[in-house]
Amino acid sequence: MKTFKKVVVLFFFMVSLTSLGFSQATLKLGHIDSNQILSLMPETDSLQNELKNYADYLDQQMSAMAMEYQSKVNDYQDNVATMSPLIRQTKEKEITDLQARIQAFQQSADQDLSAKQAELFNPLIEKVKSAIDEVGRENGYTYILDVGAGAVIFYEGGDDVLPLVKKKLGI
């Protein structure tokens, strides 16, 4: 029984020392504004231009469909009094179908534009993330917080690693 008590006391003593050692470990915190570093990247302007050109192309397609829709509506309104019921029904169905196509195109265009943005910017984001990871490892950071993402409500202290990441990226 005495031996058991000694083992238990020794065990708790060891656990206390171990947890004390872990609690003494220092945290090295850093922060960066990912939006700022992305805006400083030389590739960002060309990617934004490419995305804008694609958005303009989709807008042109949408405008052409809207002009066709307006033309059909105007034609229908101008001639509705002289149309037979069959022609009127046919024209109304054409207008309704075109309206549905326009709405479907708008939804698809929005999704397509989001996919294009991800396709263009994900490699750049990965490049920045990789540089941040390397800076973190090379400089012994425990955490690097992204203050540009809006998830950090308050930060004081810690190091702004933006200059280190800029250097790593060569900008």
User: CA 145 to CA 151: how far, in whole Å?
Assistant: 9
Confidence of residue 72 (pLDDT cuts 50, 70, 90): very high
* Both tokens assigned to 135: 């800076």
Burial of 69 by CB count in 10 Å (0-12 exposed, 13-18 middle, 19+ buried)?
middle
Q: pTM for the whole thing?
A: 0.69
Q: pLDDT, tens digit, for every residue of 93-114?
A: 999 999 999 999 999 999 999 9
- Side chain identity at residue 43, one-letter code: E
pLDDT of residue 105: 97
140 torsion bin: left (phi>0), alpha (psi -120 to 50), beta (else)? left
DSSP one-letter string for 14-68: HHHHHHHHHHTPPP-EEEE-HHHHHHHSTHHHHHHHHHHHHHHHHHHHHHHHHHH
More confident residue, 158 or 170: 170
CATH architecture assignment, domain 2-169: 2-Layer Sandwich (3.30)
